[in-house]
Amino acid sequence: MGKLNTLVLLLLILASCRTEKLKEPEPKPVMGDFDPTMLQVDQPVSAGLKGQVLYMPVYSNIPYHIVGIEEFDMSAFIAVHNADLYNRITITQALFFDKKGKPVSDFLTDGKIILDPLATEDFFVPYEDKNGNGANFLIEWISDSLVTEPLVESVTISLKPNQSVAVLSRGKVIREIK
């Protein structure tokens, strides 16, 4: 009977302990346009570029060896983030190449894309694409003003049960206008 009383007492103590999740403060909605002058740090890190051409790797298939050589198919997207607080940038080229360096697709079929400050544009390579582990993009952007360098990244991903893979890559600058 003593063990039963101890067990009941222990269960009562455990049941009475509450773990309250600390509430995160709710973010307040921003009304109206963003005003960069509200930031306390007023000097940009590098507002000195007028354009770049970036080499951007993506991996639409990754070879692997189990029985012979097989390919693990993946989808990918390129994201071009305008990191400038004040000025627009214009994406003038988004060219997709296969692993042998042959052009496959021009993602700007409707001409150039203008990105407002802090805006993002992305380009998607579907899962069914078979252009290989060396597939890549050339992304070109320009601006009329000196701007903060945009952030250009690719995310390549496959979400299969028990076989998920994700690769994050950043663009390499191969040409630049200052």
pTM listed for this prediction:
0.78
Q: Please, how many CA atoms are within 13 Å of residue 109, restricted to the half-sphere of its CB?
A: 4
Q: What is the pLDDT of residue 54?
A: 97
pLDDT of residue 116: 97
Q: What is the pLDDT of residue 13?
A: 67
Residue 133 has what pLDDT?
Answer: 84
DSSP state of 149: P
State residue 102's pLDDT score. 94
pLDDT confidence of residue 15: 64
Residues 6+ apart with CB under 8 A from 78: 56, 58, 94, 122, 123, 137, 139, 152, 153, 154
Beta strands in the chain (DSSP E): 47-57, 61-65, 69-73, 75-81, 89-97, 103-106, 113-115, 120-125, 136-148, 151-158, 165-170, 172-177
The residues of the chain scoring below 70 in pLDDT are: 1-5, 7-21, 44-47, 68-69
In the chain the domains, ranked by start, together with CATH numbers, are 48-177 (2.60.290.11)
Q: Which structure tokens are listed for 48?
A: 């000195």
pLDDT in tens, 94-145: 999 998 999 999 999 889 999 999 999 999 998 888 888 889 999 999 999 9
Whole-number pLDDT of residue 8: 63
At 18 the pLDDT is 60
